[in-house]
Structure 1
Amino acid sequence: MVGEISNSMADLGRDPGRSPLLPDRHPTPDFFVCDVFDAVPKGDLASMEHPIFSLSTKPDTRLRRYEQGDIFVEVTPSVKGLATVHDRDILIYCISQIVGALNEGRAVDRTIRLKAHDLLTSTNRMTNGQAYEGLKAALERLRGTTISTNIKTGGTEALDVFGLIERARIVRETRDGRMQDVEIVLSDWVFNAIEAREVLTLHRDYFRLRKPLERRMYELARKHCGHQAEWSIGLERLREKCGSTSTLKEFRRLVRTVVEQDRTHSHIPDYAVDLVERVGAVEKVVFLNRQTMERAPLVDTPPPLSHETHDAARQIAPGWDVHAIEQDWRSWCLDKACQPKDPARHFLKFCMTWVERRGLL
């Protein structure tokens, strides 16, 4: 089985008093603006509803298929394996650079040229020879990973096939053979999401999280909890959304280790995490907002929605969890400081937009 850092010594560390975070190798006060979930095809269908990146620390060459109603997503690796959660750092860096250029009013396109050293330091990586070789391998996995999904548009089913990046090229090397300038061409899907400003701000300590599982859990909390006080998800559902290949028993142990370390060190950025074990009920993983994120001016949270509104939402988005869509809507309202005059009508309009972006109308 492909490993997910399940060894107990790797989980707990030889020194339980040591911070689970990696050292801050290149201190800087900047945050990185990026689109971790939505900068993937069709407004986050592939990466939010279905995990794309592997949690494994070893080459993962299995074909993955995820289904939600009539929609499917297949992730096909190259012979070198699926792109990993840590490979995602390259996309985060590219997207943050493009968003920064857009904010400054500069012209942008899918091709971005960057300094390899800048990418490594910005994502809290070492800058030795091994790190440069690792960067090359990550680019190969990103280029080799292929996404296939069927999307219904106007009642017609179409098949879309695309890669996470279209191309990567080493433009210039140093005298000792290390890459210096790199040119990366993003896929149309990623670039279109950036132009639409479908972005989230990540805490810089995201790059200091050692374990892929911790990173994935933070990403899910950032997307679904946002600025809300808390967000919970069933343990088995979390395992699915993380793309874990562990058994539920092993996954529970891995999550419990993250929870125990977070209680001691508070190392998960922005959110505290807890595992609520209820006898005779579904186990829940709960994320609590630490109130450490900058946010728009405070607004009142929309009031609870009626059963009639939820029924109407099910007609708009049949087969989907309307309560999960409602969480996205509430998070969106908080992030945008939006205080709708007619919450029910606003939510149903949000549902229509949510469905349209996934090509389900």
Structure 2
Amino acid sequence: MSAATDTPGGGLLPDRHPTADLFACDIFDAAPKDDLGTMEHPIFSLSTRPDRRVLSYAHNGTEIEVTPSVRGRATIHDKDILIYCVSQLMAALNAGREVSRTLQLKAHDLLVATNRDTSGDGYARLRDAFERLAGTRITTNLATGGVETTRGFGLIDSWEIVRRSRGGRMISVTVTLSDWLFRAVLAKSVLTLSRDYFRLRKPLERRIYELARKHCGRQPRWQVSVGTLHKKSGSTAPVRVFRAALRKMIAEANLPDYRLSEAPDDMIVVERQRAARPGPAAPHLAPETLEAARALAPGADVYALVARWQAWWEDTGRPRLGNPDAAFLGWVKGQGRG
């Protein structure tokens, strides 16, 4: 990968807010969630410099053209905003609340949830990200929610910042998502991400993690050629440079939940791993909670539900839960609606 697509340093970023309740929402389903469309296709730039090139991509019948604004194409780090928005919407849907394309967010909560700096520079970078997201235009025939459309749209339709009159710090942000992205949420075309995703430093690491999560989510192993992975990643580096970046990624082994290795014939193997991770012990549930779960899911094996919920909690990075009982019951309700 070229210098323009790498950030200095190696390893994971520090967990800047280790005691925070991510997404300011004590609902288990508020774990980070990404939409399948942008996980599969290279819509976001991997460059850390303004990328003003028009991207044209075609694969298996899907055609995408991404046109940046004068500020450059939205980057994979800008995508954190969309992941946060999608996560909030999915949490609301799973809790039985009505949702709309327009969200009102607290800027500080967004920064904390995505492991970003909450200094003045952090807020300035957040505004820049909104401008790139709104300015990036997409023409595609991608299908979302069972509907195929060929049209142009932005990643977000609009955004608005409310600031304090003194100091200029953001208080709240209003974001209106594109109809295309909102349909993906309503159709639940999303996957849960590890919270350590936000600790990945390099754009290519984030992109490879997305592809691993998409293709290796329900199977233990995914094998792909370097050439196909290069195309899917959206990297603009020559294949030989991309291959070298993959080898470095294999050696550093920073990807949460997945391990990469090389195979003969220029192939890359992605395998899911369940390494022990530091964090709180499995949440303890009160007997009354199990009784409530039986009432919510008549006939279900409540202990099997607990095991599935704890496995999901493990997969999403062992988040700290202020009220595990309420989180579990919210998850059970969501299972019933799914």
Aligning the two structures, in what range does the TM-score lie when normalised by the shorter sequence? 0.7 to 0.9
Find the residue that maps to 1:124 and give its secondary structure.
Answer: coil
1:177 aligns with 2:168: yes
Could you tell me how far apart the structure 1 residues matched to 2:214 and 2:60 are?
22
- Once residues 192 and 149 of structure 1 are traced to their aligned partners in structure 2, the CA distance between those partners, rounded to angstroms, is 15
TM-score by length of 1: 0.69
Within the candidate set 90, 112, 115, 1:124 is matched to 115
What residue number does 1:291 align with?
A: 274
Q: Secondary structure at the match of 2:63?
A: strand
- 2:19 matched to 1:21? no
From 261, 265, 268, the counterpart of 1:274:
261
1:74 matched to 2:57? The reply is: no
1:1-361 paired onto structure 2 within 5 Å:
3-6=3-6, 10=8, 13=9, 20-28=11-19, 32-38=30-36, 44=37, 47-68=38-59, 71-150=62-141, 159-173=150-164, 175-262=166-253, 267-276=254-263, 278=264, 281=265, 283-291=266-274
User: For the Cα contact (< 8 Å) 1:75–1:145, is it kept in 2?
Assistant: yes
Deviations 1:5-29 (A, max 9, x none): 458xx4xx4xxxxx70000000147
Shift in CA distance, 91/292, structure 1 to aligned 2, threshold 3 Å: farther
Once the two structures are superposed, what CA deviation does each residue of 1:33-69 show, in whole Å capped at 9, x if it has no partner? 344242xxxxx2xx35531000000000000101235
Contact 1:76–1:147 (CA under 8 A) maintained in structure 2: yes
Closer, same or farther: CA 86–151 of 1 in aligned 2, 3 Å: closer
Q: Deviations over 1:306-334 (max 9, x none)?
A: xxxxxxxxxxxxxxxxxxxxxxxxxxxxx
Q: Distance in 1 between matches of 2:34 and 2:4?
A: 21
CA distance in 2, matches of 1:215, 1:197: 22
One-letter amino acid of the structure 2 residue matched with residue 170 of structure 1: I
**Aligned residues of 1:113 and 1:183 also touching (Cα < 8 A):** yes
Code of the residue aligned with 2:258 in structure 1: it is Y
Task: For residue 4 of structure 1, report the CA deviation from its aligned partner.
Answer: 3.7
Distance 1:88 1:118 in 2: 16
SS at match of 1:24: coil
Paired letter, 1:36: D
8 Å contact kept, 1:124–1:207? yes
**AA in 2 matched with 1:64:** L
Q: Give, as a single letter, the amino acid of the residue that structure 1 aligns with 2:75.
A: T
Distance 2:192 2:165 in 1: 33
Q: Determine if contact 1:25/1:126 at 8 Å carries over to the other structure.
A: yes
Report how many aligned residue pairs link the two structures: 271
Unaligned runs of 5+ in 2: 23-27, 277-306, 312-334
Question: What secondary structure sits across from 1:239 in the alignment?
Answer: helix
Structure 1 pair 289–295 and aligned structure 2 pair: CA distance change class (3 A): farther
Q: How far apart are residue 274 of structure 1 and its match?
A: 1.5
Task: Write the letter of the residue equivalent to 2:162.
Answer: V
User: Percent of counterpart pairs with the same letter?
Assistant: 50
Q: Distance in 2 between matches of 1:253 and 1:59?
A: 24
CA contact (8 A) 2:40 2:214 kept: no
Structure-2 separation of matches of 1:82 and 1:240: 18
Q: Give the alignment's TM-score, normalised by structure 2.
A: 0.74
Q: What is the SS of the residue equivalent to 2:250?
A: helix
CA spacing shift, 1:289–1:197, aligned 2, 3 Å: same
* 1:115-143 Cα shifts (integer Å, max 9, x gaps): 10100011000111111110000000000
Tell me which amino acid in the other structure corresponds to 1:258.
M
Cα offset, 1:100, TM superposition: 1.0
Please say if residues 5 and 48 of structure 2, whose CA atoms lie closer than 8 Å, have aligned partners that are also in contact: yes
The corresponding residue for 1:353 is none
Q: Which has the higher contact order (CA 8 A, sep 6+)?
A: 2
SS at match of 1:200: strand
Describe the superposition over 1:57-103 as per-residue Cα deviations: whole angstroms up to 9, x where unpaired: 00000001012355421000000000000000000111111111112
- The amino acid of 1:113's aligned partner reads Q
> Residues of 1 paired with 2:211 and 2:60: CA distance?
21
| 1:158-210 CA-partner distances (Å, limit 9, x unpaired) | 74111100000013436200211000001111111111122211110000000
**Secondary structure in 2 matching 1:36:** strand
List alignment gaps of at least 5 residues for structure 1.
14-18, 39-43, 299-335, 337-361
